Structure 1
Amino acid sequence: MKVKKILFVIFSALLLALMFIVLELNKNTVIGFILTAVLGAGYYGLHRLIVRKKNRWYLKGTVLLGWLALFVGVVFLTWPPIQRVPAVNVKNPEMTDIVTVKQGDLQGVYSEDNSYEIYAGVPYAEPPVGELRWKEPQDAKPWGGVLKADHYAPMSMQPQNLPIVDSLTQIIGYHDYEISLDDNYIVPVSEDSLYLNVWKPAGDTKNLPVVVFIHGGSLKTGHSWYKDHCGEGLAKEGAIVVEPAYRLGVFGYYADEELAAQSPNGTTGNYGMLDQIKALEWVRDNIAAFGGDPDNITLAGESAGAASVSALCTSPLAKGLFRRVILESSTVASVDPPHSFRTMEEALEAGEKTKEEYGCTSVDELRKLPAEKLVAQAEQHHHMTVDGYALTETPYESYKKGVHNETAILHGYNDEESAAFIIFDHASMKNYESKIREYFGDLTDEILEIYPAETDEQADEYWAEIYGAVFFDYPHYCLNRLAVENDIPVYEYLFAKTNGRLGDWHSGEEVYCYGNIPDGSKLYDDRDRELSAEMVGYWKNFATSGDPNGGSLPKWEQNKGSDNLMLFGDKTEMIDEKEHALFAVLDQKDGWDI
């Protein structure tokens, strides 16, 4: 009997612990933990009573099922509330002095150590809702009183996972999940999301370099305060960082001929890009109030954010709004961009399919649908296009004519860009050739000559390199050659530093170059922190003068021949580009002509 009792206690304790784990991963409120503990105690008492009285198995089973059913009820009853994210994780943070912008007065908050200031959730455009859905962004209206800019605004409308799914992704993908009761809530999403955040060094500052960062997320997800790329690190080093949100998915990139006809500019399909331009205009007009230099703005972005920067480099609407650019892990400078871009014909065709899917015969009918229903179309609409207004032609065509907005470029990609994208798409000797043939067609033999796989392991390794090159490395090679052709100073890098977290996968460089490696994190070693200091130095120098070099940093040479890169890895040193043979085949495939 003692053995059975011990086993029962162990089983009950493990089950209760599992329930607590579910509540934590799902971000349920504290009351959920209390109720679950009470239910656990009740279950234990009832079970012991049954043992003493009848000891019937079906009664014990009924009590166990009742406990589980009640726990499910507790999960739903104590579901995490929706609430905005505080700009600093400090109770009653110190407020900054009042800053006056064109729309009114606002106050931000100081960081915990008072080294920098944050102004969160500042509106830069009118909410694009109702009749303003799928229209060019309008200037933000003035507000009365003092705007308290101490919480981030809702994320732009996008598909959402259950909280427990996001937590498991953090554990499995990033390995940095932290148990806390301070984040037991769900971050809101909204169509009303055209707000930006400003990070600046604390105190009275003047004429500081400004970095405007466009977040990634395939133009369908993401937000403007993610810890890896937020402005804290650069603000500590004397730069101002601005991160705007912009319309995503169907709200940012839906195209329709009706919309073009309604627009005074004849545009459709690039609303997210127009938001980014509106944010740049706001920065130009207001950044001096924060101590920034409106004539020294660097536009930066990662992944789809870098693709957006790439497009803005040749947008006539963005001319004069920034001086130089930083592009991490994406461009749309190739002849046929592999992602984040499509033809207007493709955009309009997708738009018609969306109307048909919802049974709508006009854009006005589509506008009346709730955002929560339309958000499911994100996968069909997350591409920029040539609309004749924001973009009059592809960036490749503009560069060929010598048309561009930037005066210097810093750009690059990561060593394992493809890793996250081929988790369920690995290659073996059975499918290696067919995978290559599907993309390269008549040029397959040339690829197999460069990458002659002989084992499953080799096939998988080569496939990962080819995939990464097609979608990330090669577009950067194209951008570099276009820059050289146009006499634009250009500096290229390869990030290849592994660590205990994301490593050199897609977006792995962000936490380094924006100086946001968490203090005390055991996922990073001394070399990681040394490399981060170097990259922050390069980024800050480039944002200041257009040249990343300075001080004791290793010399970063311009990539004038499009054949040498700065390696950010166990060492920081110049290396030769290793994928020229593959790039030559991609030139053939795309019809590169420069």
Structure 2
Amino acid sequence: MSATVSIHQGKLEGDDQGGLFVFKGVPFAAPPAGARRWLAPEKAESWTGLRDARRFGAVAHQNAVMLSALSAIVVDGEQSEDCLYLNVWTPAPDGKRRPVMVWIHGGAFSIGSSSQPLYDGSVLARRGDVVVVTVNYRLGPLGFLRLADVTNGKIPATGNEGILDQVAALQWVRDNIAEFGGDPGNVTIFGESAGGMSVGTILAMPSARGLFHKAIAQSGASHTGAPVARANRTAERVLSKLGVHPGDAAAIRALTPAQLLTGTLLDDGITPDPELGMAYQPVADGTLAPRAAIEMVADGSASGVAVMVGSMLEEWKLFSLMDPSLHKLDRAGLGKRISRHLTAPAADALIDAYEKARAARGEPVTPAELFTAIETDRVFRIPGVRLAQVQGRHDPRVFSYLFTWPSPAMHGALGCCHALELGFVFGTNHLPGMTAFAGTGPAAEKLAVQMQDAWLAFARSGDPGCASAGTWTGYTEARRPTMVFGANTKLEDAPRDQERRAWDAIPDRIFGSL
């Protein structure tokens, strides 16, 4: 069956799935192609007649997805520069003002899409009587390559075009979501990994102010963003790899998406250049993002916004799969790795603190395990903790969580790794490949219910406390209450605090980046 909705641009025909209405491939901005490549998004064009909204739109150009064995995270479909589409799941396109949850997908700002099966909004929309929106945004060199400086303004790309796409999607939600039965005055943004980092960035952006009212940052916070100098070095390196001169704007514009995607790869055309780290990320450009996002939030940029933030217990174990030398790591090698970001004395002190804390709990203290624990906290957990700290000084509605459920995959080698919570939040652990990754059985189902209920409660009222997960006290620096999601979900004060304290003297600039 079909259903129709009239929005500002025209009429849409979606699917009536019996108690749930789904509209896919809805354009929220004009195609950022041709003369619009590397420009800020422009308003979507209108149409006459009835537009088919029963199929997903094209996805952003990207290289092959990691872990493609998990079919639930595979990015299918046509890739195109014309990729600025969103999808809506709603219990009814009526006049009811339901909470709205806008999902920003992850993928290192280089891969992913709003149409991945893992992010199907059906379960959340049905369970919580909410409207779920998933959005695409430009990725990699088309969304996060800063060209304004290296081309002397001939190509005005700021390196934040992908983030501006997300803001444009929120503007579309403000203007149109009431037609889908959603409340534009009660919008929650949520995202994981690069999506969580996007949420942390949007909390700081003046242009996004007022477009959302609550935010959930999963495995990402407000510490990820390149200074202009780093973004310019990345652009220079990419253009050099592609054999074009920065002054030749015509040659740069003539590059195809396929060519651009090779700009951060080694000569084998597959392996990312390790010297670039996470090459593409938001840029603290002084205008769109006036300063580092965590500094902006600390100064009150997101005052009045309820925030929930958290991470996985062993995030880095997912990335360890791509680090074959890790199992050979000795103490000297560990010190060298940690010293990439810290002075040698600070690195040694940090390693010692982790070794003592883990040994006291009976946890492994091999160099590989210590490196995984330290990188998990440097890139993911401590940025979340610091976001909770600074936002809590402006709004009491700040909530912290730690996810501890282990993956059964690879005989437990993945531990409680990055991205493991996604199927629990969306209720998509039943999809092919997900059971082996996330586990199954009554305990897994109970955990999924707890997380969905908490996310939905937060979206509804700004308080994630619920009957299934229990009362959830707001974060304070005195107690640091944290909901620990796992086989025995419970609220704990200051979990793993010895490790957290080991970072106290370390500045924000070394967190959240690769």
RMSD: 2.7
Is the alpha carbon distance of 1:518 and 1:365 closer, same or farther for their aligned partners in structure 2, counting shifts above 3 Å?
same
Is the CA contact (8 Å cut-off) linking 1:99 and 1:105 kept in structure 2?
yes
User: Cα offset for 1:484?
Assistant: 1.8
Is the alpha carbon distance of 1:129 and 1:591 closer, same or farther for their aligned partners in structure 2, counting shifts above 3 Å?
closer
Q: Deviations over 1:429-472 (max 9, x none)?
A: 46333333343323123123313489996332222111101111
Distance 2:157 2:239 in 1: 19
Distance 1:344 1:552 in 2: 45
Q: Does 1:509 align with 2:421?
A: yes
Q: Does 1:107 align with 2:13?
A: yes
**Residue from 347, 353, 361 that aligns with 1:450:** 353
Distance 2:164 2:431 in 1: 37
User: Cα offset for 1:352?
Assistant: 2.6
User: Cα offset for 1:552?
Assistant: 5.2
**Residue from 440, 444, 447 that aligns with 2:342:** 440
* Secondary structure of the corresponding residue to residue 382 of structure 2: helix
Aligned runs of 1:51-200 on 2, under 5 Å? Answer: 94-96=1-3, 98-111=4-17, 114-160=18-64, 169-171=67-69, 174=70, 187-200=77-90
Is the alpha carbon distance of 1:483 and 1:260 closer, same or farther for their aligned partners in structure 2, counting shifts above 3 Å?
farther
User: Cα offset for 1:514?
Assistant: 2.1
Q: Considering Cα pairs closer than 8 Å and 6+ residues apart, tell me whether 1 or 2 has the greater RCO.
A: 2
* Secondary structure of the corresponding residue to residue 490 of structure 2: strand
Distance 2:508 2:146 in 1: 27
User: Cα offset for 1:366?
Assistant: 0.7
Q: Does 1:347 align with 2:231?
A: yes
In the other structure, the counterpart of 1:69 is none
Is the CA contact (8 Å cut-off) linking 1:418 and 1:505 kept in structure 2?
yes
> How high is the TM-score relative to the length of structure 1?
0.74
Q: Does 1:468 align with 2:353?
A: no
Q: Does 1:530 align with 2:446?
A: yes
Q: Read off the aligned partner of 1:530 and give its amino acid letter.
A: K
Q: Deviations over 1:144-178 (max 9, x none)?
A: 211111111121011136xxxx7xx454xx5x789
> How high is the TM-score relative to the length of structure 2?
0.85
Is the alpha carbon distance of 1:429 and 1:267 closer, same or farther for their aligned partners in structure 2, counting shifts above 3 Å?
closer
In the other structure, the counterpart of 2:179 is 289
User: Cα offset for 1:257?
Assistant: 2.6
Is the alpha carbon distance of 1:129 and 1:480 closer, same or farther for their aligned partners in structure 2, counting shifts above 3 Å?
same
Is the CA contact (8 Å cut-off) linking 1:267 and 1:388 kept in structure 2?
no
Q: Deviations over 1:65-121 (max 9, x none)?
A: xxxxxxxxxxxxxxxxxxxxxxxxxxxxx222x10111100011133xx23121111
Q: Answer with 1 or 2: which has the greater Rg.
A: 1
Q: Deviations over 1:551-589 (max 9, x none)?
A: 454111112126221011011101233443333343323
Is the CA contact (8 Å cut-off) linking 1:110 and 1:202 kept in structure 2?
no
Distance 1:535 1:456 in 2: 28
User: Cα offset for 1:143?
Assistant: 1.2
User: Cα offset for 1:345?
Assistant: 1.4
Q: Percent identity?
A: 29
Distance 1:186 1:313 in 2: 30
Distance 1:485 1:493 in 2: 18
* Secondary structure of the corresponding residue to residue 518 of structure 1: coil
Is the alpha carbon distance of 1:457 and 1:402 closer, same or farther for their aligned partners in structure 2, counting shifts above 3 Å?
closer
Count how many residue pairs are aligned between Structure 1 and Structure 2: 474
- Gapped regions of structure 2 (runs ≥ 5): 265-271, 510-514
In the other structure, the counterpart of 1:58 is none
User: Cα offset for 1:353?
Assistant: 2.9
* Secondary structure of the corresponding residue to residue 40 of structure 2: coil
Q: Read off the aligned partner of 1:504 and give its amino acid letter.
A: C
Distance 2:469 2:496 in 1: 27
Distance 1:186 1:407 in 2: 35
In the other structure, the counterpart of 1:377 is 263
Is the alpha carbon distance of 1:364 and 1:108 closer, same or farther for their aligned partners in structure 2, counting shifts above 3 Å?
same
In the other structure, the counterpart of 2:144 is 253
- Gapped regions of structure 1 (runs ≥ 5): 1-93
Distance 2:209 2:143 in 1: 21
Instruction: Report the more deviating stretch, 581-590 or 466-475.
Output: 581-590
* Secondary structure of the corresponding residue to residue 391 of structure 2: helix
Q: Does 1:518 align with 2:430?
A: yes
Distance 1:503 1:208 in 2: 37
In the other structure, the counterpart of 2:269 is none
Distance 1:260 1:570 in 2: 55
Higher helix share: 1
User: Cα offset for 1:406?
Assistant: 5.0
In the other structure, the counterpart of 1:85 is none
**Residue from 359, 364, 370 that aligns with 2:244:** 359
